[in-house]
Amino acid sequence: MTDKIKIFDTTLRDGEQAPGFSMNKEEKLGFAHQLELLGVDVIEAGFPVASRDDFEAVESIAKSLKTTEVCGLARCHSGDIDAALMATEKAKKPRIHVFIATSDIHLEYKLKISRDEAIKKAVEAIRQCKKHCDRVDFSPEDAGRSDRDFLVEILSEAIKAGADTLNIPDTVGYLSPAEFGDLILYLNNNVPGIKNCIISTHCHNDLGMAVANSLSGALNGARQIECTINGIGERAGNAAMEEVVMAIKTRPELFKARTGINTPLLLKTSRMLSSITGQHVQINKAIVGDNAFAHEAGIHQHGLLKNKFTYEIMKPDDVGWNETNFVLGKHSGRNAVLDRLNKLGIKIAEADVAAFMMKFKDLADGKKHIYDDDLILLTKDKNEEMYYAIKEMKVEAQTGKKATATIKLKAGGDVIEGKATGNGSVDAVYNAIIKVTGFEGVLTKFNVDAISPQKDAIANANIGWLIDDVEIRGRGTSTDTVTAIANALIDVVNRYRIQQQHEEGLSGV
């Protein structure tokens, strides 16, 4: 018999809250649609009480998904629960996930409450959820370091209050697979009423054991795994969905279970997340890293030619490898480009096709091979719609001398220009942008990489900029590295401007 293991995706909540992975509302909505296509059972879309943006992102995802459960996270506080209920109320299948810490160290130092008080808060919170929403997950945070008898007690009260799913977090990634599996088995055998609930896992990767721990949970009775695409999440991240899912699919005799994931979409989903956040997975990452199916050693290639399964335990097609890296170029016509976009799940309105093709041809003139990631980026290139955009830029740099940047920017309907020097090209360009826009703040993060192989690759710059005590993330791309870096600061300036207008309640951005 093969049981179904539910996949609960928390990329947009636990994943998004990690530094370097923030996404805007539109990006979250687009990604949630991809998760629905991928076949995840539940999407934890955010923590609605955390900010207005989070609330609106959860709300728009809830309104627009058709089949997937949409979940909002809440602490056991009435205000959190109201926000989560409100944000998810339009979902076809709403779900609320409430949590409270249960380890002594969290109770004593963080919450400063007793075990009995924690039980009382959990029960009240679940009852409040149940008045408006049938589906309720309860998590005893830091369960991995909590007293087992106390876990049994609070979980049995949570069941009585109406929780249908009991999620067991190893919040700090402390347990080994054997210990985590044993904890799940213990709870499964000792919590009264648990057989009518789904046991779920939520494992962090601080010691690199999140996937192994989640799978050990599944072997011991868990029937839901909370995980994220590319394993993103707090600190070292969560269990990587692509790894969990492919382990279950590749070893049916071991897990005697299946997931509902449409695995050929895994790679595309992983790439989409990298492209949105600008954070790429390492080259040797299981399943979705560039080398995951690359065989270099002659002895391996020889074996593979005789029989693929000598060195390949999964089919690359099963995770979507053969669909990617389809190369387009300057001779590719409208049909080939639209067909490829279609395969990538991107639709362009008929009225926008001509303008898109012009952008495509411009890019193809400067860059021989256009890869899927390049195409995806091109569809997101909204420079011309933004208030500030670079019209012209000139940088003069010479070894041993200060660099000079001259910049001309579109600023709404106007053009502004200026010149500045700096310690190198990037410093000079940034000083020029700051001078002409009057923008302030300090650079806190700086990362530049290439979107695709080859020396004419598109450079992808991601920066963090601290202003008014808030870090704004910006992203810029270009076939020219310094222009990509300049675009990233322009992105920050535009985002800051939008944020200011939002706060001032102005319209017409």
Applying CB under 6 A, the residues found at the interface with ligand KIV are 14, 99, 139, 141, 169, 171, 202, 204
139 makes contact, choosing from Zn ion, ligand KIV, none, with CB < 5 to 8 Å by partner type, with ligand KIV
483 makes contact, choosing from ligand KIV, Zn ion, none, with CB < 5 to 8 Å by partner type, with none
The CB-of-99 to Zn ion minimum distance in angstroms stands at: 9
Which residue number has the CB closest to Zn ion? 14
The CB-of-202 to Zn ion minimum distance in angstroms stands at: 6
The CB-of-75 to ligand KIV minimum distance in angstroms stands at: 8
Of 16 and 374, CB closest to ligand KIV: 16
99 makes contact, choosing from ligand KIV, Zn ion, none, with CB < 5 to 8 Å by partner type, with ligand KIV
- Helix 266-277 vs helix 241-250: crossing angle, to nearest 10: 170
The CB-of-260 to Zn ion minimum distance in angstroms stands at: 23
Q: What is the DSSP letter of 386?
A: S
474 makes contact, choosing from Zn ion, ligand KIV, none, with CB < 5 to 8 Å by partner type, with none
Q: Compute the 3-state secondary structure of the chain and give helix, strand, coil in percent, each to the nearest 5.
A: 45, 20, 30
Alpha-helix runs per DSSP H in 344-480: 350-366, 372-380, 425-437
Phi and psi dihedrals of 499, rounded to 5?
Answer: -60, -45
141 makes contact, choosing from ligand KIV, Zn ion, none, with CB < 5 to 8 Å by partner type, with ligand KIV
491 makes contact, choosing from Zn ion, ligand KIV, none, with CB < 5 to 8 Å by partner type, with none
112 touches 162 (CB < 8 A):
no
What is the rounded CA–CA span in Å between residue 277 and residue 237? 15
Whose tokens are 């650079």? That residue is: 443
CA distances in angstroms from 470 to 71, 465, 499, listed in the order given: 27, 8, 11
Q: Which amino acid is it at 438?
A: G
E strand segments, 38-132: 42-46, 69-75, 94-101
Of 99 and 180, CB closest to ligand KIV: 99
The CB-of-171 to ligand KIV minimum distance in angstroms stands at: 4
Of 143 and 482, CB closest to Zn ion: 143
Of 169 and 316, CB closest to ligand KIV: 169
| 341 CB burial (10 A radius; 0-12, 13-18, 19+) | buried
What is the rounded CA–CA span in Å between residue 125 and residue 82? 10
The CB-of-60 to Zn ion minimum distance in angstroms stands at: 23
Phi and psi dihedrals of 320, rounded to 5?
Answer: 95, 15
For the segment 6-65, give every residue that binds Zn ion (CB under 5 A): 14
E strand segments, 303-424: 388-396, 403-411, 414-422
The CB-of-374 to Zn ion minimum distance in angstroms stands at: 34
Residues in contact with Zn ion, total (CB under 5 A)? 1
Of 171 and 214, CB closest to ligand KIV: 171
The CB-of-204 to ligand KIV minimum distance in angstroms stands at: 6
| Token pair of 103 as six digits | 């380890």
93 makes contact, choosing from ligand KIV, Zn ion, none, with CB < 5 to 8 Å by partner type, with none
Of 28 and 280, CB closest to ligand KIV: 28
What is the rounded CA–CA span in Å between residue 22 and residue 10? 13
- Write out the residues near Zn ion by the rule CB under 5 A: 14
